[in-house]
Amino acid sequence: MKSLLFTPLDIGPIRVKNRIVMAPMCQYSAVDGTVQDWHMVHYPARAYGGAGLVILEATAVEARGRISPEDLGIWSDDHIPGLTSLASTISDAGALPGIQLAPAGRKASTSRPFDGFGPLMPDNGGWQVIGPSAVKYAENYPMPRAMSIDDIQEVQEAFILAARRAIAAGFKVIEIHAAHGYLIHSFLSPVSNHREDIYGGDFAGRSRFILEIAREIRSVCGDDAALFVRISADDWMENGWKIEDSVKIAELLKSVPVNMLHVSSGGISPHGKPSQSGRGFQVSLSETIRREAGIPTTAVGLITEAEYAESLLQAGRADLVALGRELLRDPYWPQRAALALNAEAPVPLQYARAWRNT
């Protein structure tokens, strides 16, 4: 049986050489939003390791949208040279370069995990956070300022400018971050969106923000890049966003058209707990959306074994498989996976003599 994990896939205007995606994972290592040496080593290493698509961490479309002061940014033309160099190096290393565009919303202004994590207050290097409504993420987090219509339009314009910069820098996948309790997800979820205007209320109102952004970025991408959206398919809360809502939003995003949904879950509240845990605990969400909405999906969540990743694709539960922490532990996981599946290993020529099937 031919391995699907190592079979190319056409996604809109792009072709990915295999189905392995490096999921966005914050590195908290930028200075004023700019690319540093760490990024220039970290991301290309995963490309040389064999991943078909490498997606940069959540990259802030505006300074107040950073999760931490050390997040990567794309809110200024000054960020383009570093991002261009990084995208080019990833491409030269054999992977498609992708970037995740994000504002953190009410979960912004925090310290780095390795500096203690938790919210930063204005008197300690933090800043005023914003959200759809004045609803805290958690008790120890600051109260977000409810966004005005002008604020909403300002963030949407920031997304458009960021997408243009990303295309100029050479990224081939633009992913909108609409998951994990950050700004766009907080508009979708009734847990955090208590608005009574056109951006709140029922499903249509809460979905308006993401749909307007997706349509604008689709226009920017044109034939130069594929458009992905990462969603939290279930809040895991009784009064939250459900998988049924995700199927509905997937159908709407498909019509934009969005080329791929990257299916995660949770993050809207520390009280949301998944109904299951362990290997592939989110895969059923990807499978449901793919089947019922008819849109390609990327599965993510504790996928660590080559045979399991392959089985997801063979069963039609996803079109791509994203790895997060596993690729932090082992940049060369794709090469080991190829050996396990008797596929041709994606090995640089310089390393070929170390692999038995190259």
Among 3, 17, 21, smallest CA distance to 343 is for 3
- CB burial of 237-254 (b: ≥16 within 10 Å; e: otherwise) equals beebbbbebbbbbbebbb
Q: Which two tokens stand for residue 294?
A: 């008819």
Of the residues 28, 182, 199, 332, only one is catalytic, namely 182
Instruction: Quote the distance between the C-alpha of residue 160 and its chain's center.
Output: 17
**HEC string of the chain?**
CCCCCCCCEEECCEEECCCEEECCCCCCCCECCECCHHHHHHHHHHHHCCCCEEEEEEEECCHHHCCCCCCCECCCHHHHHHHHHHHHHHHHCCCEEEEEEECCHHHCCECCHHHCCCECCHHHCCCCCEECCCCCCCCCCCCCEECCHHHHHHHHHHHHHHHHHHHHHCCCEEEEEECCCCHHHHHHCCCCCCCCCCCCCCHHHHHHHHHHHHHHHHHHHCCCCEEEEEEECCCCCCCCCCHHHHHHHHHHHHCCCCCEEEEECCCCCCCCCCCCCCCCCCHHHHHHHHHHHCCCEEEECCCCCHHHHHHHHHCCCCCEEEECHHHHHCCCHHHHHHHHCCCCCCCCHHHHHHCCCC
Catalytic residue status for 182: yes
One-letter amino acid for residue 84 of the chain: T
Which residue(s) pair with 269 in the sheet? Answer: none
Q: Which two tokens stand for residue 274?
A: 């998944």
| Residues recognised as catalytic | 182
